[in-house]
A and B are shown apart, each in its own frame.
Chain A
Amino acid sequence: MSTVAETSMTLTPEHDTRPSASVRSRLQDALPKIVLAPSFAATVVFVYGFILWTIYLSFTNSKTFPSYAITGPRAYQRLWRWTFESDPPSSWYTSITNMGIFGFLYIFICLALGLFLAILLDQKIRGEGVLRPIYLYPMALSFIVTGVAWKWFLDPGLGLEQTLHQWGWTSFHFDWIKNKDFVIYTVVIAGVWQASGFIMAMFLAGLRGIDGEIMKAAQIDGATTFQLYRRIVIPLLRPVFLSAFIVLAHLAIKSYDLVVALTSGGPGGSAWLPSNFMYEYTFKRNEMAVGSASAVIMLMTITAIIVPYLYSELREKPR
C-alpha cells in the first residue's frame, strides 16, 4: 500500500491529486480494521455491554420491569441467605446443589466413559468405522430431542420399568424421573448419553496422536497393557483431559434445555439448575434483580474456569 502512495506523491506534483491519493491509500490501510469493526463492535456492545447491564440490574430492585435506581446488593444478600436455606430447600439451594451433583457426575462419568471407550476402540477394532458414529451421533441432537427421548424411555408406566415388568422382572422399580430426590440423576444419565461419545472422539484423537515408538519401547521393557496405559498413555493425554474438562464444565453450567425437556423442572422445581433458576425468576416470577444476580454468579463461575485456560492457550504460541 505504502509503495502506491509514495509513487503517486513523487510522480504527480499537482496538489489536487496528492490528498485524494493519500486518502485512498489511507482508506486501503484502514480497510481490514473497517471490515473487522462491525463484528468487534457487536461483541463489545452485545456481549460485554450487556454483561455490564446485567450486573447493573442485579444491584437494583427490578421486579417485572427493569428499574434503574441502584438499591445495593440486596439480590445477592437474598441469594446468600437462600444458599443455606436447606429445610425446606429454597429454589436457589436446590439449583446449586443440583449443579454440584450434576456437574461432578456429568464431568466425571463423561471423562471416564469417554476414555474407556476410546481405549477399547484403539485396540485395532474391526468395525470401528461403524461403532464410532454410533457413539457420537447423540451430539448432533438437540437437548430438547434428547430430553423427549429419555423422558419416554425412563417413564415408569411406559418405558424401561414397564418393559422389564413384561419380561418378568416384576419387582423392578425405577421412577427416578418422578422422584424429587432422584430426578437430577436422570438429567445426568441423559447428559452423559449425549456428550460422552464426543469426549470419546477427543480421547481417540489424542491416543492416535501418541508416538507409537514410545508404546513399543515400553512393551519391550515388559510393561503390561494396564501399566502401559496407566503410566505412559494417560499422562500423555493430559492436554486432552484439560480440553475435555473445559468443554464439559462449560456445557454443564450452561445446561438449561435438557432439564426443561426431560423433567419440566422436576416435581416442585427439584431438577432446577442455576440456569433454570435464572430463567424462572427473570421471566416468570418477576424477580428480575434476583435473576440477574444469579446470571452474574453463573458468569463468574465460567469466567473462573475459562479465562485462565484461554490466557494460557493464547499465550503459549508467541508470534
Chain B
Amino acid sequence: MSAVTTPARQDTGGTSAKTLNRIVIYGMLALFALFYLMPLFVMLVTSFKTMDEIQNGNMLALPRAPTFEPWLKAWGETCVGLTCAGIKGYFWNSIKMVVPAVLISTLLGALNGYVLTKWRFRGHTLVFGLMLFACFIPFQSVLLPMATILGSLGRFGVTLQNATGLTFGLGNPTVNLVFVHVVYGLGFTTLFFRNYYEAFPTELIKAAQVDGASFFQIFRRIMLPNSMPIFVVTVIYQFTNIWNDFLFASAYAGTGDSMPMTVALNNVVNTSTGVVEYNVNMAAAMIAALPTLLVYVLAGRYFVRGLMAGAVKG
C-alpha cells in the first residue's frame, strides 16, 4: 500500500510545485505584456478623449464619451508649424516617397543579389563586403556632403527650369529623399537577396544557360518566380525603415510642404503656440504609426524574418 501511495503523494507534491511554477511564469509574461501594451493603450484611449476629460480624468481610464474629433482634427486641421491644414498632406508626402524608394531599391537589390551569387566574378566578396558595411555606417558621416550635393542639384534644377521649363525633379525634396533612401537602402536589399539566392540551386541556372537563356531571361523566368518570400520580406523591411526615417527627412525636407510624416508629427507635438491638444497629438501619432502597424499585423512573420536577416549577416 505504502509503496503505492508514496510515489502518488510525491507526484501530487510535484504537480502543485509545478502549478505554482506555471503561475509565476504566466504572471511574469502577462506583466511584461502589460509593459509593452501600456504606451499604445494610453495613446489610443487619449486620442478618443476630449481635452476636458484628459485634464480631469485618469490616463488609463477608457474614454467616457469616445469622440473621433481629435482624429479628424489631426488629419485635416491641426497646425504643423505655421500651416494649419492637418497632417494629411504630409501623410501623402510619405507615401509618395516610400513607394518609389521601396520599389527601386528592392528591384536593384534583387538584381545585385542575382549577380553576386550566380554570375560571380573575381572580387565579388570585396564588392559585397563594401556594400554590406554601408548598411552600418552612422548616416551622420554622409549627411553633410549629401546636403551639399542635393543643394547644388537644386540650383542646377532652377537653371534648367529657366532654360527649358522643366526641373526633371532636381531640387524636389520628395525626389531627393527617394534618391537618398534608394542609395542607402541598397546595402540591405542586396544582402537580403544575396543570402536568399545563395541557397538557390545553381544547376538550374547552368541548365538554362546551356539552353541558350540570356542573363535577363534567367532572372525573369527562373529567379523572379521563386523569389516571392524574399520580395515580401525586403519590401516590408524597406517600407518600415523608410516610413520611419527621421534623420534624412529632417535634414533634407525638414521644413515646408514636402515634410514626410515623421517630421510633421514631431512638429505637431512640439508646436508650443496655444493650448497643447494632447488628444490631437496622440491621434496624429497613431496615424503616423498605422501604416507600419498594419503591415506588422498583416505580415508579422515576414517582418520578423526581415529583422533577423538584417541582424544575422553573411
Contacts and interface: CB of A to CB of B under 8 A. Distances in A.
Interface of A: 1, 4, 28, 31-33, 35-36, 38-40, 42-44, 46-51, 53-54, 57, 66, 117, 120-121, 123, 125, 131, 133-146, 148-153, 158-160, 162-163, 166, 193, 197-198, 201-202, 205, 243-244, 246-247, 250, 253-254, 256-257, 260-261, 264, 275, 278-279, 282-283, 288, 291-292, 294-296, 298-299, 302, 306-307, 309-310, 313-314, 316-317
Interface string B119-135: 10100010111111110
Contacts of A141: 244, 289, 292-293
A264 B26 CA distance: 38
A288 B40 CA distance: 39
Given A28-B214, A125-B29, A139-B307, A134 B37 contact: yes
Interface in B17-35: 25-26, 28-29, 32-33, 35
A137 B143 CA distance: 29
B138 A302 contact: yes
A31 B215 CA distance: 7
A153 B42 contact: yes
A144 B183 contact: no
Interface stretch (B1-9, B53-61, B170-178): B53-61
Nearest to A154: B39
A244 B144 CA distance: 30
Contacts of A135: 32-33, 36
Q: Most B CB atoms within 10 A — which of A140, A291, A302?
A: A140
Contacts of B200: none
6 contacts: A35-B115, A43-B130, A125-B25, A125-B26, A140-B289, A152-B42
A166 B180 CA distance: 49
A306 B136 CA distance: 8
Contact of B262 (A140, A144, A149): A144
A261 B25 contact: no
B29 A148 contact: no
Contact of B292 (A42, A120, A142, A261): A142
A275 B303 CA distance: 27
Contacts of A145: 265, 285, 288-289
A137 B38 CA distance: 12
Nearest to B142: A50
A275 B308 CA distance: 25
B106 interface: no
B140 interface: yes
A47 B214 CA distance: 32
Contacts of A295: 138, 140-141, 143-144
A120 B28 contact: yes
Given A57-B144, A299-B138, A144 B39 contact: no
B contact face: mostly helix, strand, loop, or mixed:
helix
A50 B130 contact: no
Nearest to A159: B59
B196 interface: no
B253 interface: no
A74 to B, nearest CB: 17
Contacts of A275: 138, 140, 247
A50 B292 contact: no
A166 B132 CA distance: 52
Contact of B43 (A131, A149, A279): A149
Contacts of A244: 311
Nearest to A128: B29
Given A54-B141, A131-B29, A254-B139, A247 B311 contact: yes
Contacts of B46: 152
Interface string B138-179: 111111111010000000000000000000000000000000
Given A51-B141, A148-B265, A313 B59 contact: no
Nearest to B304: A201
B115 A148 contact: no
B59 A66 contact: no
B136 A250 contact: yes
Contacts of A158: 54, 59, 278
A314 to B, nearest CB: 6
Contact of B142 (A47, A117, A120, A142): A47
A142 B136 CA distance: 18
Contact of A36 (B35, B127, B133, B308): B127
Nearest to B38: A153
Given A142-B292, A152-B43, A46 B142 contact: yes
Contacts of B84: none
Nearest to A3: B210
Contacts of A256: 140, 246-247
A53 B112 contact: no
B108 interface: yes
